[in-house]
Structure 1
Amino acid sequence: MTSEDPAMTGQAIVRAEGIRHSYGRTDVLKGIDLQVYAGEVVCMIGPSGSGKSTLLRCINHLERISSGRLWVNGNLVGYRQKGTRLYELSDKEICRRRADVGMVFQQFNLFPHMTVLENLIEAPCRVLREPKKVVTERAHALLRQVGLSDKHGAFPTQLSGGQQQRVAIARALCMQPKLMLFDEPTSALDPELVGDVLDVMRALARSGMTMVVVTHEIGFARDVADRVVFLDDGRIVESGPSDQVISFPQHERTQAFLAAVR
C-alpha cells in the first residue's frame, strides 16, 4: 500500500479485512470487514459489548488487532510491510500517523490545568511543530465554529459537559485530521446538553469530513449517516444506507435491537 491521499485516489480511508481482537481468551471482534470512503459518515450501532468501541479504538491503534489487516489513509495501522513481512512501527511513527485521525471520547479528556485555547493548540504545536500564531488563529476559528468563541480563556471545570465536549471536538479538529472518530460522544451528557453537540457533528458532516460514529442516538444516525453498521457479538450483522437499516432492518437481531431502543 502507498501513503497517497485516499481522498485523491478513490481508496477507502478505512479498510478492515478480517480483523479480530481479543482480551485474554475473550474474543471481542470476530472477523470484521469494513470500508469507509472519503466524505462518508458511518454510524455504528448495536448493544453494549458488541465491539463497537473496540473497533473504533483499533482504527486509531489504541487497541492492537489480533489478526487480519487494517489500513487507515492507505497505511497499515501499527505496521509497515516490506515484501511479505510486517514490521511493528515505533511509538514515534505511530504518533505521527495518528495525527491524521481525530478522536472524541465519551469522557472529554481535556487537560484540566489548561485553558480552552491552550487545550486546542497543545498538540499542533508540540506534535506537528506548527507555529503558535498559525495554530492560535485556527483554534479561534474552530471555537467560533462550535459556538464557544467567548470561552477561549476558561478552564474545563468552568464549562458544562456539553461545552466541554464541543471543546474536545474543536481540539481534535485543530490537528486538521482526515478522519474523525466519535465514541458515543453524547453518552455522558445530560439530555438537555445533547442537542448542541449533535448540531456540531451535523455541521461537520455537511462540511464533508469523513466520520465514523459509535452512537445510541438512532435519530442522528438516521438523519446524518450515509451508512449504518449494526454490530452484535463482535460481528457486523447488517450494513447499508441509514434509512434502509433503521427503517427497514432485514436481520431479526437488528429488528429486535431497534424495537428495544425506540
Structure 2
Amino acid sequence: MVVARQVMKSYDGTLVLRGVDLTVERGEVLCLIGPSGSGKSTFLRCINHLEKIDAGALHVDGEFVGYRRVGNRLHELPDRVVAAKRAEIGMVFQRFNLFAHKTALENIVEAPIQVRGEDPKAAAEHARELMACVGLGHRLDAYPGQLSGGQQQRVAIARALAMRPKLLLFDEPTSALDPELVGEVLDVMRDLATEGMTMIVVTHEMAFAREVANRIAFMDQGAVVETHAPAEFFGSPRHPRTRAFLSKIL
C-alpha cells in the first residue's frame, strides 16, 4: 500500500527526513515510534501530500503521491487532482479539528458531500452507521463542545472513515486526551485493525503497539532505524539507539 524510498524533507535548511525507507503492506498495521522530533509526523504528512518531499520517491497503492511521471521527470499534479487522491487517505490528528459550529453528524457528512459529491441522504445514512460503529450513535446532534475529548476523537475517526479511505494515518491520536479517555479511542482502532484497515499509527502507546501492530518501526533523527514484528522489536531490538529508547519508556 505504501512504499517510501529515500524520502527527504527539509524545513528552512534543516533536514527533517534523512532518507526514509519503509514499506507497508495492504491490510497491515504499522506503528511508528521514536523520540519527539524524529520525523514521524512529518513523514505521515508527506504520505498524503500535506507536505511535499524534497527527494526520493513515495507511492500509495502503486501511484506517486502528488506527482506523475513523464519520461524521466516528475511533474506535480494540480491541486484539485491532489485533493482527489488525498481523499483516499484518511488522517486523524492529535487535535480533533472538528468544526465547532457543526454537529457530529454535520462534521462527518461535510467532506463526502463537498469533496466526493455524495447524495446528502446517503452520506447521512453512512455517517449514522459510522457513529454507531464508534459507539456514539446516540450523540449525532451533539456539538464538539458538548463531547469529551475521547468522544471528539471518535467522531474524527468516523469522519475519516466517511471518505471510504484505502489507508488511515493516525498522528498520536491519544496524546491530547486525559488518560481515562485513551482506552475508548484505542478500542475503535483495534476494531479497525481487526476489519483489515491498512493503518500507520504514530503513537507512544506501547501496549497498543505490542498488541495490535503487525510491525513496529523505530525512527530517530529522520530515518527508520529498524523494523520488526512486536515480539522481536520489544524482546530483542538490534540497534543500540532502539534499546536505549525502550529502556527509558518501558
Quote the residue 1:153 is aligned against. 141
In 1, Cα distance between the equivalents of 2:61 and 2:107?
26
In 2, Cα distance between the equivalents of 1:247 and 1:105?
30
In 2, Cα distance between the equivalents of 1:168 and 1:246?
30
Matched, 1:200 2:188: yes
Quote the residue 1:234 is aligned against. 222
By how many angstroms is 1:247 displaced?
2.3
SS in 2 for 1:35: strand
Deviates most, 209-218 or 83-92: 83-92
Matched, 1:85 2:73: yes
By how many angstroms is 1:172 displaced?
0.1
By how many angstroms is 1:70 displaced?
0.5
Matched, 1:53 2:45: no
* CA-to-aligned-CA distance 1:27-70 (integer Å, 9 cap, x gap): 00000111111100000000000000000000011111110011
Matched, 1:115 2:87: no
By how many angstroms is 1:249 displaced?
1.1
Q: Give the alignment's Cα RMSD to 1 decimal.
A: 0.6
Q: Would you say how many aligned residue pairs link Structure 1 and Structure 2?
A: 250
TM-score by length of 1: 0.94
Matched, 1:19 2:12: no
Amino acid at match of 1:96: A
SS in 1 for 2:196: coil
Quote the residue 2:199 is aligned against. 211
* CA-to-aligned-CA distance 1:170-190 (integer Å, 9 cap, x gap): 000000000000000000000
By how many angstroms is 1:243 displaced?
1.3
* CA-to-aligned-CA distance 1:186-244 (integer Å, 9 cap, x gap): 00000000000000000000000000000000110000000000000011111011111
SS in 2 for 1:255: helix
SS in 1 for 2:8: strand
Structure 1: runs of 5 or more not aligned = 1-12
By how many angstroms is 1:252 displaced?
1.2
Summarize the alignment of residues 219-258 of structure 1 with structure 2, pairs less than 5 Å apart: 219-258=207-246
Match of 2:57 among 65, 69, 80: 69
SS in 1 for 2:132: helix
Stretches of 4+ moved more than 2 A in 1? none
Deviates most, 173-182 or 240-249: 240-249
Matched, 1:98 2:86: yes
Matched, 1:180 2:177: no
